[in-house]
Amino acid sequence: MLLEPIVHLLVFSLLFAMLRGRTLSGVEYPVFILVGMAPFLLYRNTALRLMDSLRENRSLFGYKQIKPLDTYLARVIVETCIAATVYAILVFGFAWFGFDMTIHSPLEWVATLLLGLLFAFGLGMLFALITHALPSVKIVIRMAFFPLYFISGVLLPASYLPQAMMPVLLLNPFLHILELIRAEVLPHYTPVDGVSATYVISFTTVLLFLSLGAYRARRMHLISTKNG
């Protein structure tokens, strides 16, 4: 878990330094990429691990007190604790080497992180329900996160993405979340026009409504069958 973000940081920081220099949007590039990469990996891992949680925890459903929703919530807590620990280690490491790791708006930053986590929870639940009915879709979902890594503003500001495609790219909630997070951490960072917390809140509310509604309709079927 610690190795993945370190490898990403080293590889992309070296590539960027060779191509464009060490700074981006007035901040050292390793700091810029860490601020966006850490939350994205948390949300990706949460959604994908929720997708697999039925299969991984099926033996627990023999206990009547344990429901699939319990395993979803437990997985979110575990992934959050792991990600927070890894992020803290990296932040202390960056600070040790002289990088400025202060957070411009800490309360707003925490609120946006939690909003993103709710979005990942709803997305993961929906993935779990879909792949329980259609297990072969799992590989497609996993592959979809590869292009998302590049079009969500993890490596570059959204302003560097093709402007002609921006109306389509702004349909992606991850792009909004990462732009908001960077604006709350980096004092001189300005999100692209169209980025909105309201959009993410609305999208997440609808997603949670759909996923929890589908879960309620199929909760007994999730326990009684071995798909997923």
| Residue 227 clears pLDDT 60, i.e. is over it | no
Question: Phi first, then psi: what are they for 23, rounded to 5°?
Answer: -115, 155
What is the mean predicted confidence (pLDDT) over 62-73?
A: 80
User: Which distant-in-sequence residues (6+ apart) come within 8 Å of 15 by Cβ?
Assistant: none
Whole-number pLDDT of residue 76: 94
Whole-number pLDDT of residue 167: 94
Q: In whole numbers, what is the pLDDT of the chain averaged over residues?
A: 87
According to DSSP, residue 24 is labeled E
| Residue 8 clears pLDDT 80, i.e. is over it | no
User: Which distant-in-sequence residues (6+ apart) come within 8 Å of 51 by Cβ?
Assistant: 124, 127, 128, 131, 138, 141
**To the nearest whole percent, how much of the chain has pLDDT over 90?**
54
pTM of the predicted model over 0.75: yes
Whole-number pLDDT of residue 1: 58
What is the mean predicted confidence (pLDDT) over 85-94?
A: 90
What is the mean predicted confidence (pLDDT) over 5-31?
A: 71
Tell me the C-alpha distance between 203 and 83, whole Å.
Answer: 24
Whole-number pLDDT of residue 62: 65
Q: How confident is the model at residue 187 (pLDDT cuts 50, 70, 90)?
A: confident
